[in-house]
């Protein structure tokens, strides 16, 4: 994330933390807490979720989200939705009110609308900052220099240009000892229409199981998907490793196995948690009954 966005990120994750904590404090569920925390970040234009998300190649916002309950393993996901301000709310409705787990595109929007969620115009989700970001990215792509054989050196890897990732996620543990996770994103800048990332796929960008851990990831989605990274990390915890170690191991695995980059937050049922990333920065905030902290830079 650029220097001038650091403060906004800190503020944003702290606001989300407060919203989630309020739910837990009054005895609410971890599931409700992660939903409320993610809604705050979807509503905050700072992040790549909800309004203010990165634009796809056609200049449209296309959103993915998943929410999962560690107590029951129920989950709800939406992919490629274009008319929902808060995709996590629709995902929650799927979790709570549908025998299915995943809806995409118009079907997801229809499902949401039938359950009282108001649809918006795609333009309502687009902000000028992102129009400009897409324009300058696409013009950089168009002006790329070719090598002496005439080959474009850009092979389609987001690593090749400076790309930030701004997906949002939350994990929580409630008084009843249940954990939950939620992740929401606008995906990657200039993605092809219809491209689905890791964020809303169970076990990739989000996972929760009381018997292992709740996890949410961010970063370049294709490598994360290939490793089913959130589940991979939860499995390490189920095998007896601490979340702090497992989160760091997940980042090492991501880098070494598929040259991926990103970040992860992970929480186990006994209240241990891990925060790790292999990018220069990631915004995070946590609160326990004993302690609260937030930060942004953990240089690796
Ligand atoms: N993981 C997301 C995706 O690939 C992007 C991100 O984390 O910012 O869709």
pLDDT tens for residues 90-103?
999 999 999 999 99
| Best residue among 42, 61, 185 to mutate for probing ligand 1, ranked by most atoms within 8 Å of CB | 185
Nearest CA to ligand 1 atom 9: 187
Kindly report, residue by residue over 241-284, the tens digit of the pLDDT: 999 999 999 999 999 999 999 999 999 999 999 999 999 999 99
What residues are annotated to the active site? Answer: 167
Nearest CA to ligand 1 atom 8: 165
Instruction: Assess whether pLDDT exceeds 80 at residue 151.
Output: no
Kindly report, residue by residue over 186-212, the tens digit of the pLDDT: 999 999 999 999 999 999 999 999 999
Instruction: Assess whether pLDDT exceeds 70 at residue 77.
Output: yes
More confident residue, 152 or 296: 296
Tell me the whole-structure pTM to 2 decimals.
Answer: 0.94
Kindly report, residue by residue over 47-76, the tens digit of the pLDDT: 999 999 999 999 999 999 999 999 999 999
Given the CA of residue 205, which atom of ligand 1 is nearest to it? 1
More confident residue, 61 or 154: 61
Kindly report, residue by residue over 170-183, the tens digit of the pLDDT: 999 999 999 999 99
Instruction: Assess whether pLDDT exceeds 60 at residue 159.
Output: no
Residue 295: band (very low, low, confident or very high) from pLDDT cuts 50, 70, 90: confident
| Best residue among 5, 156, 165 to mutate for probing ligand 1, ranked by most atoms within 8 Å of CB | 165
Instruction: Assess whether pLDDT exceeds 80 at residue 296.
Output: no
Q: How many Å lie between the centroid of ligand 1 and the Cα of residue 52?
A: 14
Which segment of 74-83, 164-173, 231-240 scores lowest on mean pLDDT? 164-173
**Class at the top of the CATH hierarchy for domain 3-299:** alpha beta
Residue 129: band (very low, low, confident or very high) from pLDDT cuts 50, 70, 90: very high
Instruction: Give the number of C-alpha atoms closer than 13 A to the C-alpha of residue 220, restricted to the C-beta side.
Output: 20
Given the CA of residue 220, which atom of ligand 1 is nearest to it? 4
Q: How many Å lie between the centroid of ligand 1 and the Cα of residue 119?
A: 23
Looking at residue 140, its pLDDT comes to: 87
Q: Which of 53-67, 135-149, 159-173 has the highest mean pLDDT?
A: 53-67
With a pLDDT cut of 90, the percent of the chain lying above it is 85
Q: What is the 8-class DSSP label of residue 230?
A: H
> In the numeric block, which tokens belong to residue 258?
């598929």
Q: How far is CA 106 from the centre of its chain?
A: 21
Ligand 1 cavity residues, CB under 6 Å: 48, 165-167, 185, 187-188, 197-199, 205, 218-221
Instruction: Assess whether pLDDT exceeds 80 at residue 141.
Output: yes
Q: How many Å lie between the centroid of ligand 1 and the Cα of residue 195?
A: 11
Instruction: Assess whether pLDDT exceeds 80 at residue 80.
Output: yes
Whole-number average pLDDT of the chain = 93
More confident residue, 293 or 190: 190
Q: How far apart are CA 245 and CA 229, in angstroms?
A: 14
Distances in whole angstroms, Cα of residue 187 to Cα of each of 28, 52, 107, 148: 30, 12, 19, 34
- Going by C-alpha positions, the residue among 45, 17, 77 that lies closest to residue 208 is 77
Q: What is the 3-state secondary structure (H, E, C) of 174-226?
A: CCCCCEEEEEEECCCCCCCCCCCCCCCCECCCEEECCCCCEEEEEECHHHHHH
């Amino acid at each position: 994330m650029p220097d001038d966005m650091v403060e906004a990120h800190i503020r944003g994750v702290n606001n989300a933390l407060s919203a989630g904590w309020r739910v837990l404090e009054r005895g609410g569920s971890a599931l409700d807490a992660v939903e409320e925390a993610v809604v705050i970040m979807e509503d905050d234009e700072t992040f790549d979720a909800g309004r203010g998300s990165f634009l796809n190649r056609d200049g449209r916002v296309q959103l993915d989200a998943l929410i999962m309950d560690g107590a029951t393993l129920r989950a709800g996901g939406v992919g490629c939705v274009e008319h929902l301000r808060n995709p996590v709310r629709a995902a929650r409705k799927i979790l709570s009110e549908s025998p299915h787990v995943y809806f995409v595109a118009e079907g997801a929007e229809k499902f949401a609308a039938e359950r009282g969620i108001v649809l918006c115009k795609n333009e309502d989700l687009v902000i000028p900052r992102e129009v400009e970001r897409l324009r300058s990215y696409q013009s950089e792509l168009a002006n790329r220099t070719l090598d002496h054989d005439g080959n474009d050196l850009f092979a389609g890897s987001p690593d090749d240009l400076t790309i930030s990732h701004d997906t949002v996620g939350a994990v929580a543990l409630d008084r009843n000892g249940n954990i939950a996770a939620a992740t929401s994103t606008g995906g990657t800048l200039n993605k092809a229409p219809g491209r689905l990332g890791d964020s809303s796929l169970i076990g990739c960008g989000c996972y929760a199981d009381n018997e292992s851990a709740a996890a949410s990831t961010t970063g370049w989605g294709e490598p994360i998907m290939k490793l089913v990274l959130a589940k991979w990390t939860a499995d390490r915890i189920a095998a007896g490793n601490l979340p702090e170690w497992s989160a760091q191991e997940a980042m090492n695995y991501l880098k070494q196995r598929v040259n991926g980059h990103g970040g992860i937050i992970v929480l186990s049922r006994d209240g241990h948690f891990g925060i790790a990333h292999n990018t220069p920065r990631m915004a995070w905030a946590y609160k326990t009954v004993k302690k609260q902290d937030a930060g942004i830079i953990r240089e690796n």
